[in-house]
Amino acid sequence: MPRLLPALLLTALITALLFTAGCTIRIDDGGQGGADTNQFTPGTPYRAQAVRVIDGDTLRVAFPDGSQETVRIVGVDTPEVTLGGNDPDSFAGVTDPWFLSAWGEEASTSLRREVEGQEVTVTTDRAAGERDRYGRLLAYIHAADGTDIGEFLLSQGLARVYTAESFGRKEHYLAVQKDAVRKRIGVWSGMTPAPPGSDGVFIVDVHYDAAGDDRTNLNDEYITMENGGGTMVVLTGWQVRDSDGFAYIIPETAISPGDGIILHTGSGTDNRTDLFMGSPAPVLNNNGDTVTLHDAGGTEVSRFAW
């Protein structure tokens, strides 16, 4: 019986070594990264290629070892593309789901333009943790030229800081967002993504808070429209509507390329540069509203929300 002891000890030792080897997790493989490593060293940039943009803050990346990860850019949140996916309370002061989804499309397009098919670096943040509840890798993404993509999205008004998350760059990201809000850029502008420089007529500004008492200064409540195209646009029969159901039918009017026209709430004599709704009371809500412009066929061509 004692002669069996060495053999049993040897078998146990081999089994233990095999089990330990099977559970080893590679922490770093010289910048390869990927799902099969199961762990990323926080602060270490891992080279990858952005193979597909999923939405404005999420993308699929491939590492040099052939593994892939779905990455959610840490610290930022872009509007959802679907109407039902947007929480009206997420973006302060912006409550129109249609408006948010339009900017969600713009965020996705911008991320696709910046990184899809390009080399990027993926860097996790110790404070944020490695993965979210959906198993997506939480990481900063930098373009090949060093651009911090999360910061870029915030600076363009395409995202908000995801304050529910802990991460090392939070204070800096909040400062970038504050600057975008101050400059009224992107989702904070009140305008839809289609810029006035594009072809056609757009609502470029809404002055909804008249000086003093709105009820006695109706003509200081106004909507500015411009023709950003190269041809004259006849607005006869077009409509301006708001979210409360108000509708104004534009009389015989045309805007030449590069020109604009101001639509006032109160009364006055229509001319080449100014139109008057003739309303006896304020129309534009100071605490939030949406104004849309529709062509003669009823198709919405521009939207402005605040």
pLDDT of residue 194: 62
The mean pLDDT value for 254-273 works out to: 93
The C-alpha atoms of residue 300 and residue 201 are separated, in whole angstroms, by: 11
pLDDT of residue 199: 63
| β partners of residue 201 | 227
The mean pLDDT value for 104-108 works out to: 91
pLDDT of residue 96: 80
pLDDT in tens, 184-228: 899 998 877 765 445 688 888 889 989 999 899 999 999 999 988
The C-alpha atoms of residue 47 and residue 89 are separated, in whole angstroms, by: 36
Sheet architecture: strand order including 222-227 = 201-207, 222-227, 260-264, 274-276
The mean pLDDT value for 277-284 works out to: 93
pLDDT band at 29 (very low <50, low <70, confident <90, very high): very low
pLDDT in tens, 69-100: 999 999 999 999 887 788 777 888 787 888 88
Q: pTM higher than 0.85 for the full model? A: no
Length of the chain measured in residues: 306
Q: Is 70 exceeded by the pLDDT of residue 274?
A: yes
The mean pLDDT value for 231-246 works out to: 91
pLDDT of residue 156: 94
204-213: long-range contacts at Cβ-Cβ below 8 A with a sequence spacing of 24 or more? 204/260, 205/304, 206/284, 206/291, 206/304, 206/306, 208/284, 208/285, 208/286, 208/289, 208/306, 209/286, 210/282
Give the SS3 label for residue 47. Answer: strand
Q: Which residue has the higher pLDDT, 65 or 6?
A: 65
Which has the closest alpha carbon to 257: 305, 216, 199?
199
Give the SS3 label for residue 142. Answer: strand
Domains of the chain, start order: 35-188 (2.40.50.90), 201-305 (2.60.40.1260)
pLDDT of residue 198: 55
pLDDT band at 288 (very low <50, low <70, confident <90, very high): confident
pLDDT of residue 301: 87
The C-alpha atoms of residue 11 and residue 13 are separated, in whole angstroms, by: 5
- Dihedral (Cα; 216, 277, 102, 193), 10-degree rounding: -90
pLDDT band at 289 (very low <50, low <70, confident <90, very high): confident
